[in-house]
Amino acid sequence: MKLVYISDKESALGFGLLGIETVIVSDKESALRHLNKFKAQQDVGIILITDTTSFLIRKEVDEILLSKEERPLIFEVPSIKNAPGVKKQNIKEFLRETIGISI
């Protein structure tokens, strides 16, 4: 299963450097288009999405979170621009602690 990341521009760099397929979105339409694209791909098991991006498409994200479908799982991660004062941690460590994935 593949892990993908839907992100704002500021938060995308680190995940892309780890080899995670990353798409940068800046509006509701592009966020929804990529969410639906990844949801339809059978090999996508986990979708990471920044909180700022999920805010744009809250209804659609909640529908996936509340569905009984086994995949994809969605995890909202804090956007860099919305997390001032939060201790910055290594992205690998963040994924391991948050969702148990080691990269």
Q: Which residues of the chain have pLDDT under 50?
A: 84-87
Q: Does domain 2-99 have CATH number 3.40.50.300?
A: no
pLDDT the model gives residue 18: 79
- CA angle (89 as vertex; 84, 90 as ends), nearest 5: 140
* Cβ-based neighbours of 86, under 8 Å, separated by 6 or more: 78
pLDDT the model gives residue 91: 63
Q: Where are the domains of the chain?
A: 2-99
This prediction has a pTM of 0.80
Kindly report, residue by residue over 10-33, the tens digit of the pLDDT. 888 878 877 889 999 999 999 999
